[in-house]
Amino acid sequence: MKNLETVKSLKIDKLERMNSSVNGNPRFRVYFSNGFVSQTTVDDGLGYSIQNYVGENRPLLDVEFGTHYGTVQVNKITVSSWALKAAQ
């Protein structure tokens, strides 16, 4: 993955299911609160865990994006440290 960049304090507005990979793993198109649209990478565990970050009580996230074969994809998602402090 190239051109990695982290954007802080985003929320996921919507997930749209894409076709599964050849190995049967889920893929999603992800719509973020800043209007940015990306997708999960093929055969990445993020396809399973990303569903936990959507809903009424969705947390603020730090999202690392990168390009893979010219497509912007989500590389890593972590719950924002700011959101963790606020929850304590």
> According to the model, what pLDDT value does residue 74 have?
92
Task: Give the start-end residues of each E strand in 1-88.
Answer: 2-10, 12-17, 28-32, 37-40, 61-68, 71-79
pLDDT at 9: 85
Average pLDDT for the chain: 87
Q: What is the tens place of the pLDDT at every residue in 57-77? A: 888 899 999 998 888 899 999
Distance CA 73, CA 29 (A): 9
Domains of the chain: residue spans and CATH = 2-87 (2.40.50)
Secondary structure of residue 39 in the 3-state scheme: strand
